[in-house]
Amino acid sequence: MAVGGIVYGWCFGHRHDRVRGYPGCSSMVTLWRSGSRTCLRLVFQPASDRAIADGYFDEGAVVRLSDREYLNLHEPGSVRALLDEVLIRGLFPAAGSAEVDGWPLFDAVRPQGPPSGL
C-alpha cells in the first residue's frame, strides 16, 4: 500500500501466546515500511463485547458484537483504513517495533451508530 510516497507492507497473523501476556488467542495485523525493519502490530483480543476469528467467524474477522460491525483483516481495504488511522494518530514507531490495541482503531474506522430502531 502506498501512502504519501511511502510503501507499506502488511500481513495477518493469529496466535495463542500465554508467554507474552495474552490469556488466550489474538489476531493481529503487522505493518511495516518498505525497506525498513520498523513495524507496528495492531493486536485484537476477544472481550465480552468483541470477537475475533477463532474457528467461529471466518479467518481474519474482528467483530464488535453490540452492533455486529465487522472488519476482515485479510482485506486490503480494511487494512488500509486501519493504516490511515494509525498515521493520523501518529502511532507508527520511528524505530524498532511496537504493539498497540487495535480496537480503538476499529472503532474509529467503524464508528458505532445509534441503536437500531430509534
**Residue 63 domain-assigned?**
yes
**Residue 101 domain-assigned?**
yes
Q: Which helix (H) or strand (E) holds 41?
A: strand 39-44
**Residue 70 domain-assigned?**
yes
**Residue 13 domain-assigned?**
yes
Q: Is the pLDDT of residue 55 over 90?
A: no
Question: Out of 11-15, 40-44, 73-77, which region has the weakest mean confidence (pLDDT)?
Answer: 11-15
**Residue 117 domain-assigned?**
no
**Residue 9 domain-assigned?**
yes
pTM (2 d.p.): 0.86
Q: What is the pLDDT of residues 57-112, one digit of tens each?
A: 778 889 998 898 999 999 999 999 999 999 999 999 999 999 999 999 999 999 87
For 110, which DSSP code? S
**Residue 116 domain-assigned?**
no
Alpha helix (H) residue ranges in the chain: 76-89, 103-109
Host domain of residue 89? 2-109
**Residue 115 domain-assigned?**
no
Supply 61's cell numbers. 474477522
Q: How many structural domains does the chain have? A: 1
In order, the DSSP letters of 80-94 are HHHHHHHHHHT-S-S
